[in-house]
Amino acid sequence: MTGVHCHSSAIKQRAHHAHQVFHSKPGWFNPQFRGLWSGRLWITFQAEHRPFVIQEANGIKHCSKATYMEVVIRPNAEAATDLVARVIARELRDHPRLVLGLATGRTMESVYARLVQMHREARLDFSGCHTFNLDEYVGLPGSHRNSYRHYMNHHLFLNVNVDLRNTHLPDGAAADIEAECQRYEKLLVRCGGIDLQLLGIGLAGHLGFNEPVSSLRSRTRIKVLSPVTRAQNEPLFAAPDAMPRRAITMGVGTILDARRCLLLATGEDKAEIVARAIEGPVTSMISATALQFHPHCAVVLDEAAASCLQEADYYRWIFENEPQWESYRNELDGADLDGHPVNPVGRKKEAAPALDGG
Ligand code: GLP
């Protein structure tokens, strides 16, 4: 591996303890905790008890089974992408009125290409769903080729049967950006909150555009883009100066309110930040670390993006052996585009349990 500095002693030290991390948050109920370590509350629970957590999101109460953060390592980017697309497709088939949180970036392009293929070849139906994107550049109207509205129209919306009126992004060209942020949060509440939030991760460790020093309770607001993010995304613009310096982004708190999160990262350049996000200490400097608080989050990686993880073998073992992973394994064993298993060789095929690991 070149150019990646991994296995910092801090990561190693914390990963050693990091079988599970949960944070005690108002409105959540966690029945067991083992201790306070390095100023952080480490809560472990026994897998066989799988306690329910009660989560209050924007006034909407719902219960879900608490799970570990799920880390799935696939052999290559194509396999990782395919798994993510199949998980989304299954959720959409099971819940046609799904509220889907969407992300942008190069990584997501292949996910959307796969979903479009499923729509065309297997009638994956988007007609009942609502979508909410994480972010938008300030100052770019939806017609601008670098706006995220344009990206979404181009890569997904215009290629499937979603009702464009049900696709939502912050309006980066709004006259009153503050009011626009509040409108977006209210719209999310009116739609019942996000059921499944798709996430990428930037080299700055951001979710959406939650740049370093993003409050872990933040809501949709404006953020100034960091130098790392500017360097990552500037090549997509005609000239470096053409890239806006600010963006509207869902807050970290907004993202944590999603009932389920699904993060995809591929490639060696993401390896170090992925390790810090999953195994490092929670910090507002790396907003993706906040996912350690989330009760139902899966991180899907290719081998390259997983190459700095301290506990990669542990995650592989869990994935291959634990019953709650069965449905994911079914996705990988091969299914046709309709999501029906295709009778893999050498693996017992059972009825897939719910994706929440139940
Ligand atoms: C942008 C988006 C993020 C996304 C990131 C990843 O910065 N605002 O939501 O996670 O891109 O980009 P890529 O997939 O190109 O690495």
Whether the Cβ atoms of residue 319 and residue 328 lie closer than 8 Å to each other: yes
Whether the Cβ atoms of residue 261 and residue 291 lie closer than 8 Å to each other: yes
pLDDT for res 216: 97
Tokens of 189: 């509440």
User: Taking the C-alpha atoms of 336, 339, 344 and 350 in order, what is their torsion angle to the nearest 10 degrees?
Assistant: -160
Best residue for ligand 1 mutational test, from 81, 84, 104 (most atoms within 8 Å of Cβ):
104
Whether the Cβ atoms of residue 350 and residue 59 lie closer than 8 Å to each other: no
Ligand 1 midpoint to CA 52 (Å):
32
pLDDT for res 340: 57
Residue 175: CB partners within 8 Å, gap ≥ 6? Answer: none
pLDDT for res 16: 37
pLDDT profile of the chain (358 residues), mean per 10: 37 35 33 31 29 42 58 94 94 97 98 98 98 98 98 98 98 98 98 98 96 97 97 95 97 98 98 98 98 96 98 92 75 56 38 31
Whether the Cβ atoms of residue 85 and residue 111 lie closer than 8 Å to each other: yes
pLDDT for res 329: 76
Domains and CATH numbers, the chain: 56-333 (3.40.50.1360)
pLDDT for res 322: 82
pLDDT for res 338: 59
pLDDT for res 270: 98
Q: Say if ligand 1 is within 6 A of residue 111 CB.
A: no
pLDDT for res 54: 39
pLDDT for res 181: 98
pLDDT for res 132: 98
pTM of the model: 0.79
pLDDT for res 34: 30
Residue owning the nearest CA to atom 7 of ligand 1:
202
Q: Look at strands 246-249 and 52-57 and give their pairing.
A: unpaired
Residue owning the nearest CA to atom 3 of ligand 1:
208
Relative to the CA of 229, which ligand 1 atom is closest?
Answer: 7
Q: Say if ligand 1 is within 6 A of residue 104 CB.
A: yes
3-class DSSP assignment, residue 92:
helix
Q: Say if ligand 1 is within 6 A of residue 277 CB.
A: no
